[in-house]
Amino acid sequence: MAIQQADKLLKKHKDLHCAKVLKAIGLQRTGKQDEAFTLAQEVAILEPTDDNSLQALTILYREMHRPELVTKLYEAAVRKVPTSEEYHSHLFMAYARVGEYKKMQQAGMALYKIVPKNPYYFWSVMSLVMQAISAQDEKLSQTMFLPLAERMVEKMVKEEKIEAEAEVQLYFMILERLGKYVEALEVVQGPLGEKLTSELQSRENKCMMLYRRLERWAECNALSCKLEIVPFDPDDWQFYILYFDSLFHLIDQSWAPPQEGAHSAEGEVHASTAQAISFMKDRIATEEAKESKHLRGPYLARLELIRRLRVRSCPEAQQLGEPLELMFQFFVKFGDKPCCITDLKIFLDLLTPDQHVQFINRLMEAVPLCAPGEDGVALPGDTRALQRHLCVTQLSRSLGQQHALNTEGKLGLIKELKAHYQHGLQFGKSCLKTELQFSDMYCLMAAHVYVDLWLETGESNMLWQCLGLLEEGLSHSSSNAQFKLLLLLLYCRLGAFEPVVDLYSSLDAKHVQHDTIGYLLTRYAESLGQFAAASQSCNFSLRFFHSNQKDTSEYIIQAYKYGAFEKIPEFIAFRNRLNHSLHFAQVRTERMLLDLFLEADISSPLEESVKSMSLCLEEDDIPWDSLRDNRDLTVLVSWDPKDRQLNEEHKQRSLEEDTLWLRLRSLTLRLIGCVSALTHPPASRNSEKTTENGVTAKPYRTMLFFLSNPLLSKILLHITLQYPFVGPVASRLAQALSSGCCQCQLSSLQLPLHLQELETTGLDESTELQTQISNLFKSLAVQLQDMLEKCKGDLLEVKDGQSKPQPFLLENLVYFVESVCIVLWVSNYCGSVLRPLKSTSTVTVGAPPVLSAYQEFSSSLQSLLNQALEHIKSQELSLTALELGALSLEGQTQSEAEETFTKTAMDKVHSSYLRSLQEIGELLKKRADTLKSLKI
């Protein structure tokens, strides 16, 4: 409709620029990009100056992801209308979108000369700072860009033209980057500092930061001490930490106050443990004198001081009291607040192991519970009592007391936790659907104990009951992200991807969360055989990463408009962090591989599929040296004791494994791309093509070397590190190696090089080479058969009336399918080489060995695919016939409601397995149909 309306206008006014551009926008949005671009260029080449045409072209170029064309538009407009403030402003913003900092500086000054307003002047200054930040040469930044920016601001200061807080912030940023902390301190403490009013305690925070940088610990100590009392917030934790840091620096330096005058520019300084202890006692006394609304900061600061004194083996720590008693007092005051657990958890290391039981018992004494019921469980009478009991229960787990229980003890604990959970639901009857229930944490902790039992005993019943409990919890508290995350993780560990997609979608992840927690979804997306859902999941993540570039540019422009200069480097750093994300590189690579496995040589030839991806075969575009691990590995709640918690070794090992897996997948993708470049029909065989193949073979040989090198070494060195259950998800590397897919794919990808050599040599003079190729075909058939054998078994193994999932079989099956795809592509290339050679062979008795071996290999592939399809069919029939409701769940009596939720969870896993088998089977059938093309 819009295009028709534009055409009507153009019939009447054929030179109406805006109508042409609006028509181009319509064409762009209907998928006719080339026509749209041609029409837009017809207008752009005329260098229009009317605002409507310029704005419309800007919209069009942004939709085309061609922001660099917008700069040319406004450059022309400014040349024609050199006094236009609006066009100069648009030109500056156009440069900002493409990061042309030098031109931004020039545009800003040109704008200031036309309209001498402070914001335009400081746009130019900020552009100089950005040149400094983005410069490859740090020396150039420190000797040219930043000093020039400093001089430009100093000129405005001397002329007393500084008007806004943003200008002072920019001056401070420049001095800070130059390392001129003394000068920066003078600015903050001087008249210009009075403009820093947008943030609470902005001047004080900046002074504190500079004192630390200058190692002026006396001033740092005095200021932090002053800020903890009046008139500022005495509950601000950061100032207590700064107070302690400065205190011990002064003690280490044996600092002594001057004999005359003030201790420091900020007032009195504390430089001894006695003064610190006295100060803390005064703060506590002030809080104790209050009748209500006690602040937590002073009480926690006292525990922090004890910790630091103990680390330094200072006996004065005893003067502050016994940690167990102090923590008990803290619990009495704040135990009914949800933050109490996180407050006390960080100080549990102050207790000795033999104090753990005593500590929990003391806390339980301060929890008002009703008399025990028929089941022997004493329950709280209100939400405040519930919160206190919940806090004690969480602390008990954090101290390892729950982990130390035997199986019977843990089952008893689960029964007690479930009783508390069910009882607590009555307090949340009036809650909205989007609100969490007061007792949700009991349900979550019971699930964690079930997981403990599953990992210790290997009994799948524990896992089924855990899933049922979490499904029940989610039915009462549909917005509980922790329930969803743990369910997501458990379903993935079981190989059931179908329920995971809806769970992740219901989390309603926002913006950067697609990077920080998206790995929980995409790690399992393709490996569990649900290719359609995997494709959807990858697209979900990629949309966020691709929009990041455009969105960040808009943030930067808004920061310039509103003078938030200090945010601009943050936005740039954020953009780089996402562009270099490990997760981004993984999803992009996996999505391209998935597209090839699903479509190449099925809906379109391999060569066309690779070409549509704009894949660079010669150079790897993954920034290996600057990859960022942005995963949030602590997103799931955990109360594990320190020896079971996620540590730096786990994080580093997980990063190494994921990076290695990405290298293998990236190399495999590019090698497949090279195979497509090598493939050519008989008609195009000539010297020119042969030369081209020779060029293609160079990167192929190099990549093959890199693929085999790390693979072979890692096969020997790879030792799986056991991660905490709620820590990093295991890399696909270990399962890929055990399935045999890595070695199989490597063997198949070696064939094209041998076939190229055979093509050059010919059949008549290559007996040894033919034998080598024949042996490779035989080896490959054996490897594929071994891989298929590792796929055989029941996904849901039923034994003694109990169902045990075996998800590794599903993952092995996916690796088998991937390997078959690659083998078929390579075989297709082999066939394209051998067909012409067959017709030119002078062998009169029998077929050449390599041709016989190839035909035998083609036949074995047909047989192998038939076996695989039969196995999948038998698994589908077996699962369909399986009556999950008849399976027992021994080990714990369940109520009728609990059995219903457990049955729901089992049905979801069952349905997911069937879906996976169906999609894998369909893909294998399509691949089997392509076997006809292998005949020679």
Kindly list the distances between the CA atom of residue 583 and the CA atoms of 596, 628, 636, 727, in Å, as whole numbers in the listed order. 20, 8, 18, 16
pLDDT, tens only, 797-807: 888 777 889 99
Residue 704 confidence (pLDDT): 82
Query: What pLDDT, in 10s, does the model give residues 738-794?
Result: 899 988 999 999 999 988 888 888 777 778 888 999 999 999 999 999 999 999 999
Q: Kindly state the average pLDDT of the residues 32-45.
A: 87
104/91 Cα distance (integer angstroms): 8
Summarize the confidence of residues 251-268 as an average pLDDT. Answer: 88
Whether residue 718 is predicted with pLDDT greater than 90 in this model: the reply is no
pLDDT of residue 688: 43
Angle of the 648-678 helix axis to the 741-761 helix axis, nearest 10: 30
Q: How far is CA 37 from CA 23, 33, 411, in A?
A: 11, 6, 68
For the residues 542-548, what does the mean pLDDT come to?
A: 88
Tokens of 448: 């964690």
φ and ψ at 889, to 5 degrees? -125, 70
- Nearest CA to 110 out of 131, 95, 129, 132 is that of 95
pLDDT band at 144 (very low <50, low <70, confident <90, very high): very high
Q: Please report the pLDDT score of residue 553 as a whole number.
A: 87
Pick the more confident residue, 456 or 30. 456
pLDDT at 399 over 80: yes
Q: What is the pLDDT of residue 801?
A: 72
Helix crossing, 101-114 with 118-134: angle to 10°?
Answer: 170
Q: Which tens digits make up the pLDDT trace of 801-827?
A: 778 899 999 999 999 999 999 999 999
What band does 692 get if pLDDT is binned at 50, 70 and 90? very low
The C-alpha atoms of residue 779 and residue 785 are separated, in whole angstroms, by 10
Look at residue 691 and tell me whether its pLDDT is greater than 70.
no
Q: In degrees, to the nearest 5, what angle opens at C-alpha 659 toward C-alphas 653 and 663?
A: 145
Average pLDDT for 587-594:
95
* Residue position matching structure tokens 């699962």: 879
Least confident of 386-400, 494-508, 674-688: 674-688
Side-chain half-sphere CA neighbours of 418 within 13 A: 23
Asked if residue 20 has pLDDT above 90, the reply is: no
Judged on CB neighbours under 10 Å (0-12, 13-18, 19+), 812 is buried
pLDDT at 323: 96
Helix intervals (H) in 161-291: 165-177, 181-189, 202-213, 217-229, 237-252, 273-288
Beta strands in 88-182 (DSSP E): none
State mean pLDDT over 706-728: 68
Q: Which residues contact 380 (CB under 8 A, 6 or more apart)?
A: 367, 368, 369, 370, 386, 388, 389, 420, 423, 424
The answer for 508, left when phi > 0, alpha when psi is -120 to 50, beta otherwise, is: left
**Under 8 Å between Cβ of 96 and 584:** no
Cis peptide before 368 (omega within 30 of 0): no
Give the start-to-end residue ranges of the domains of the chain: 2-195, 767-821+839-936
pLDDT-derived band at 843 (thresholds 50, 70, 90) equals low
pLDDT for res 695: 45
CB contact at 8 A, 734 and 718? yes
Contact predicate 481/507, CB 8 Å:
yes
Q: Is 484:509 a contact under the CB 8 Å cutoff?
A: no
Cα of 923 vs its chain's centroid, Å? 30
pLDDT in tens, 517-534: 999 999 998 899 999 999
User: What is the rounded distance in angstroms from the CA atom of residue 196 to the CA atom of residue 207?
Assistant: 12
User: Which CATH class name applies to 2-195?
Assistant: mainly alpha
Token pair recorded at residue 121 = 């002047």
pLDDT over threshold 50, residue 43: yes
pLDDT of residue 716: 46
The one-letter amino acid code at 407 reads T
What is d(CA 928, CA 662) in angstroms, rounded to the nearest whole number? 29
The answer to whether residues 232 and 201 touch, using CB atoms and an 8 Å cutoff, is yes
Contact 419, 661 (CB under 8 A): no
Residue 34: per-residue pLDDT:
87
Structure confidence at residue 277 (pLDDT): 96
The angle at the Cα of 452, spanning 447 to 456, to the nearest 5 degrees, equals: 150
Q: How many CA atoms within 13 Å lie on the side-chain side of 62?
A: 15
Bridge partner list, 799: 802
Percentage, residues of the chain above pLDDT 70? 92
Query: Which pLDDT does position 249 carry in this prediction?
Result: 96
- Per-residue pLDDT for 645 more than 80? yes
Segment among 368-372, 447-451, 892-896 with least mean pLDDT: 892-896
- The pLDDT value given to residue 833: 87
DSSP per residue, 362-418:
HHHHTS-BPPP-TTS---BSSHHHHHHHHHHHHHHHHTTTTTTS-HHHHHHHHHHHH
Per residue in 166-221, pLDDT (tens digit) is 999 999 999 999 999 999 999 999 999 999 988 878 898 999 999 999 999 999 99
924: nearest Cα among 881, 848, 886, 867: 867
> Residue 697: its pLDDT value, please?
63
Rounded to an integer, what distance in angstroms lies between the CA atom of residue 376 and that of residue 333?
28
Per the CB < 8 A criterion, the answer to whether 784 and 819 are in contact is yes
Neighbours of 884 (CB within 10 A): 17
Which two three-digit tokens encode residue 174? 């420049």
Q: What is the DSSP letter of 830?
A: H
**Rounded CA gap, 714 and 737, in Å?**
9
pLDDT band at 588 (very low <50, low <70, confident <90, very high): very high
Amino acid at position 695, single letter:
V
Side chain identity at residue 634, one-letter code: T
Q: Of the given ranges (453-462, 489-498, 926-935), which has the lowest mean pLDDT?
A: 926-935
Which of 339, 348, 234 has its CA nearest to residue 290?
234
pLDDT band at 694 (very low <50, low <70, confident <90, very high): very low
549, burial (CB in 10 Å: exposed 0-12, middle 13-18, buried 19+) = middle
β-pair partners for 798: 803
Report the percent of the chain where pLDDT is more than 90. 65
Computed on alpha carbons and rounded to an integer, the radius of gyration of the chain in Å comes to 35
Q: At what angle do helices 118-134 and 146-158 cross, to 10 degrees?
A: 160
Average pLDDT of the chain, as a whole number: 89
